[in-house]
Amino acid sequence: YNVIIFGGIMRIAHISDLHLGKSLHNFSLIEDQEFILDQIVKNCAEKKVDVLLVAGDIYDKNVASEAGIKVLRKFLNQLVEAKIKVLLISGNHDSAERLTFGGEFMTEKGIYFSKVYDGVIEPVIFQDEFGPVNFYLLPFVKPSTVQHFFADEKIESYDDGIRCAIKHMNVNTSERNIIIAHQNILNAERCESEENIIGGLDAVSAKVFEDFDYTALGHIHKPQIICNDVVFCGTPLKYSTSELKHEKSMPVITLGEKGKKDYEFIPLKPLRDLRQITGTYDEIKRMAKSDPNNKEDFIDVILTNENDVLDAISTLREDYPNIIKLTYDN
């Protein structure tokens, strides 16, 4: 790729796991996703972000919904208009072939898609006042995918596969290097809304990324820094009740010379939050009258009545129309 030069220091932002087209208990989230992506574009412009990294699971399903495609197209158009470069990789929910179709024609607009993995990953190189920054776009891969291109390598696990893929990138460690990847990491804190492989067999060690100055990860929905600049930014929205306590944000990293960088985490505020309300039926009805929060929020109701309340979910929806489920704790 041609080197693109920025005038001063370089500032990058990191998002992942958009899951465009996803529903929450049969409630469409398209409006919420469009709202949060508009917010991300606004935040990137305000923070003077040069490069936005999107670390996989762009869509929720292998075959993307029409509504999801429209939202992504609008999002990318906004970023192009704002003159923000965009680097995207495919995740385990995406079809690498479908997501990257036509990607080679978008590079002149500043949009770079990971290609379908073929054993060769050339960096996208941007340059600022401190020199080049090499961005490596590694799509979600399984060990068998990597083994296919490196028959002489011993690849028996996800860790082996990622280690092999990185070895063959021939990273120049004297320069600043950033990788975008979509993998599970050992000891990462997970939640119910992710695809889980029994026993964590899909997990890789954070040490495989030690040659990189920043590792922009997708796949895990909770924001967390693993170690040594290996970062899960998390989802921009809460996608299950297991994410109720997550504080969603977007990392913005200001790059200095080799070995130096500053972090800022920009809070993301949803159109409709996901909340949990606990109490008896009568308590919740009373609570609703003075609830200062958005009545359009998605609500997980836990009733503490000793006996089932007839038609409780329907009557409670008079106050909270977007109740996603109702359970009893008695």
Residue 227 three-state SS: strand
Q: What share of the chain is helix, strand, coil (3-state, %, to 5)?
A: 25, 30, 45
The DSSP letter of residue 307 is S
**pLDDT in the model for residue 189:** 74
Q: Which two tokens stand for residue 122?
A: 């050339």
Burial class (CB in 10 A: 0-12, 13-18, 19+), 189: exposed
Asked whether residue 308 carries a pLDDT value surpassing 60, the answer given is yes
Residue 207 is inside which H or E element, if any? none
Q: How far apart, in whole angstroms, are the C-alpha atoms of residue 99 and residue 84? A: 20
Say if residues 165 and 158 touch (Cβ distance below 8 Å). no
Tell me: pLDDT of 197 over 60: no
Question: Using 50, 70 and 90 to split pLDDT, how confident is the model at 5?
Answer: confident
Mean pLDDT of 106-133: 91
Q: With bands split at pLDDT 50, 70 and 90, how would you rate the model's confidence at 161?
A: very high
Both tokens of 89, joined, read: 């990789």
Residues 175-190, mean pLDDT to the nearest whole number: 88
pLDDT of residue 198: 47
Across the range 325-329, mean pLDDT stands at 92
- Which own/partner contact pairs does 221-228 have at CB distance under 8 Å and 24+ positions apart? 221/17, 221/190, 221/191, 221/193, 221/194, 221/246, 222/189, 222/190, 222/191, 222/246, 223/247, 223/248, 223/249, 223/251, 223/265, 224/188, 224/189, 226/185, 226/187, 226/188
20 closest CA partner among 316, 209, 292, 239: 239
Given a cut of 70, whether residue 265 has pLDDT beyond it is: yes
- Look at 121 and 202; give whichever has higher pLDDT: 121
Q: What tokens does 266 get?
A: 């920009």
Share of the chain above pLDDT 70, in %: 96
User: What pLDDT, in 10s, does the model give residues 136-155?
Assistant: 999 999 999 999 999 998 99
Closest CA to 183 of 219, 130, 143: 219
Average pLDDT along the chain: 90
Angle at 219 between CA 213 and CA 223, to 5 degrees: 70
Q: Give the CA-trace dihedral at 56, 60, 61, 67, to 10 degrees.
A: -110
Prediction pTM value:
0.91
DSSP E strands: which ranges in the chain? 4-5, 10-15, 23-24, 27-28, 51-55, 85-89, 111-113, 124-128, 131-137, 176-182, 184-185, 203-204, 214-218, 224-227, 230-232, 249-255, 261-267, 274-279, 298-303, 323-328
- Among 1-5, 109-113, 192-196, 315-319, the range scoring the smallest mean pLDDT is 192-196
- How, if at all, do strands 124-128 and 131-137 pair? antiparallel
Give the 3-state DSSP-derived string for 110-140, with helices as H, strands as E and coil as C: CEEECCCCCCCCCCEEEEECCEEEEEEECCC
Indicate left, alpha or beta for 216 from its phi (over 0: left) and psi (-120 to 50: alpha). beta
Q: Which residue has the tokens 């895990």?
A: 220
